[in-house]
C-alpha cells in the first residue's frame, strides 16, 4: 500500500460527458502528479501541483484540468470526453527533497463508450 | 518520439534464467528510476540511480546507470515467477517535474 488513494476505481461514461477523478496523497506529501496510461502511449505525465499551486504541465489536453485543495487532495476533471480518452489515470505524490521518487495510487480505469 | 526507449518490449523466460532489460535515451537525466507494475495496480518504485556509472543491487536485481547518464539496465539473476510484471524506467530531468517514462518491458517468468 503506497498510501495514495484514488477514487473511483472504475468509471464508465459516454462521449461528450464530464468526469472528476479524485486523489489523496500520502500523509505529508505536498506534490501531486497526474498521469495517463494507455496501451499505445504508455505512462504520460499530465500535470503537477505543489501545495495548491500548479507546478508543471505535461501532455495535458485543454479539455482536462486539475486542482489541488487546501487539504492537499487533488481532482482531475476530464470534459467533452472522447473514445480516445479511455485509459488508466494514476495519481502520484512525492515529498520534499530526494530525487523526485513518486508513490502511485491504484489508478482509475476510465472507459468512454 | 519516445524519449526513453526500453528493450525488449516483451520477454518470456523460464524460472532460474538470467535476463537484462535496457532503457536508452539520447537525453541526459539527472537521475533515473525503475518501477514495477502489476496488472490493475500502480507502479511501485524499485530503485533510483543518480551518479553516472552507479550500480545498485536489490536482492537478485542489479541496476546500472550509464556513465553519461543517458541509459540504464536492469539485470535479474535466477528469475522467479514472482518477478513477473511490467518494468518501467523513468527519467528525471531536474527539479520536481513529472517523470518521463519508457513504455516498459513486459516480463513473464514461467515456472
Query: Which tens digits make up the pLDDT trace of B41-71?
Result: 999 999 999 999 999 999 999 999 999 999 9
Name the grid cell of A88. Answer: 488508466
Q: Could you tell me the pLDDT band of residue A96, with boundaries at 50, 70 and 90?
A: confident
Q: How many Cβ atoms sit within 10 Å of the Cβ of residue A83?
A: 10
pLDDT of residue A40: 86
Q: How close is the nearest chain A Cα to the Cα of B13, in Å?
A: 23
Predicted local distance difference test score (pLDDT) of residue B2: 62
Chain A residue numbers with beta carbons less than 8 Å from the beta carbon of B42 are 2, 4, 90, 92, 104-107
Sign of CA dihedral B92, A94, A25, B88: positive
Per-residue exposure over B55-70, b if at least 16 CB sit within 10 Å of its own CB, e if not: eeeeeebbbbbbeebb
pLDDT digits (tens, 9 = 90+) for B81-94: 999 999 999 998 76
Q: Work out the number of other CB atoms within 10 angstroms of the CB of residue A43.
A: 27
Q: Does A50 touch chain B (CB under 8 A)?
A: yes
Amino acid at each position: 500500500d503506497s498510501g495514495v488513494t484514488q477514487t473511483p476505481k472504475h468509471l464508465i461514461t459516454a462521449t461528450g460527458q464530464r468526469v472528476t477523478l479524485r486523489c489523496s496523497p500520502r500523509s505529508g506529501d505536498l506534490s501531486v502528479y497526474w498521469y495517463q496510461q494507455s496501451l499505445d502511449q504508455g505512462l504520460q505525465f499530465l500535470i503537477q501541483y505543489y501545495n495548491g499551486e500548479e507546478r508543471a504541465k505535461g501532455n495535458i489536453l485543454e479539455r482536462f484540468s486539475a486542482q489541488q485543495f487546501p487539504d492537499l487532495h487533488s481532482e482531475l476533471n476530464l470534459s467533452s470526453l472522447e473514445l480516445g480518452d479511455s485509459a488508466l489515470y494514476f495519481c502520484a505524490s512525492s515529498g520534499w527533497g530526494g530525487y523526485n521518487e513518486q508513490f502511485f495510487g491504484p489508478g482509475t480505469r476510465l472507459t468512454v463508450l | 518520439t519516445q524519449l526513453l526507449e526500453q528493450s525488449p518490449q516483451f520477454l518470456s523466460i523460464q524460472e532460474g534464467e538470467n535476463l537484462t532489460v535496457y532503457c536508452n535515451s539520447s537525453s541526459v537525466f539527472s537521475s533515473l528510476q525503475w518501477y514495477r507494475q502489476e496488472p490493475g495496480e500502480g507502479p511501485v518504485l524499485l530503485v533510483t540511480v543518480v551518479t553516472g556509472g552507479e550500480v545498485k543491487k536489490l536482492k537478485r536485481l542489479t541496476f546500472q546507470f550509464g556513465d553519461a547518464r543517458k541509459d540504464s539496465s536492469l539485470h535479474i539473476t535466477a528469475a522467479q515467477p514472482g518477478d513477473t510484471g511490467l518494468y518501467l524506467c523513468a527519467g528525471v530531468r531536474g527539479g520536481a517535474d513529472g517523470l518521463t517514462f519508457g513504455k516498459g518491458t513486459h516480463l513473464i517468468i514461467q515456472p
